Each structure stands twice: as structure tokens, then as C-alpha cells.
Amino acid sequence: MEHHQPILLNPIHFELDMPPTDYAQFVVDVIARMTRESGTIDQSILRRAIGLASSYLLTDTSTNSEGGIVTWQTGFNQLADVVVVLHHRDELELETFNEASKACSECWSVAGTWRGMEDCRQGVKEVAGKLKKLLDEPNRRTYKGHKVYTPNSA
């Protein structure tokens, strides 16, 4: 029986030369592609983009320590502005409003959990304020007569 010497390989080193994530650019790209292809806002795609807010909060701030908070906040605000426009056109779906509300809750939790992200809570407050203005008077707990997502109702 032959005895073979093990082959020793040098450790593999990966170059992590990836560009930082940019939620604002992602949002612009998604909205542009959506409107170019159909001329309308597909709210199922919009909901998916909104649902990525907390993930982009983590990646934008961790891959771009200098500008990540700004790119995330800009993207989140852009999506909130689209939600407001859909509301004013009387096209906003309850499911889309709920997704935006849920994203605020998730981002609030992430911003309070991860060190160095406390300032992001101001961005969440801005988006939540835009959404709150869309709710029914006087209780601000319903949208067009339907109960909406709130962290305590989940």
C-alpha cells in the first residue's frame, strides 16, 4: 500500500472589492424600470422594494460608513413619497400602506439594536410622519376604514 503525502495548499484570500450598497439608487432603478415598462407603479414590486428597507439599512450603513445613512434615508423617503402620490391619486392599496408601516417598525428596531445606527431613527420618524398623515381622522388607526399594521397589532 502506497503512502501519499498530503498536498498542502496555500490559504485562499478573497478580495472583497465590492461597491457599497445604495438604497436610494436601488429605488430609483426600480421605479424607473417599472414606469418605463408599463407606465404605472406595480404595487407588488413597490411592496418588495419597501420590504427591503431594513436590509438596506444594515448594508448601506455597514458598506459605506460615511454616506450609508444618507443613501438609505433617501431611498426610504423616496418610497414614502411614492406611497403618498398613490394615496393622492386614490390608487394606494391597503397592503402597500401596511408594508410601509411594517418597514418603519422593522427599521426602528434595527436602528435601535445595532450600535451606531441610532441616528437612523430620525429617518424612520420622517417616513412614519408622512404615512400617519394619510390615516383616517380622528383616530389615525385606519386607512380608508380598514385597520392598518401597527407593531402592537401584529
Please tell me the pTM assigned to this model.
0.85
The residues spanned by each domain of the chain are 23-153
Phi-psi region for residue 151, left (φ > 0), alpha (ψ -120 to 50) or beta? alpha
Per-residue pLDDT of the chain (154 residues; tens, 9 = 90+): 556 555 544 444 444 567 899 999 999 999 999 999 888 999 999 999 999 999 999 999 988 888 999 999 999 999 999 999 999 999 999 999 999 999 999 999 999 888 878 889 999 999 999 999 999 999 889 999 999 998 765 4
Residue 143 parent element (H or E) = strand 142-143
Rounded Cα–Cα distance for residues 144 and 122 (Å): 27
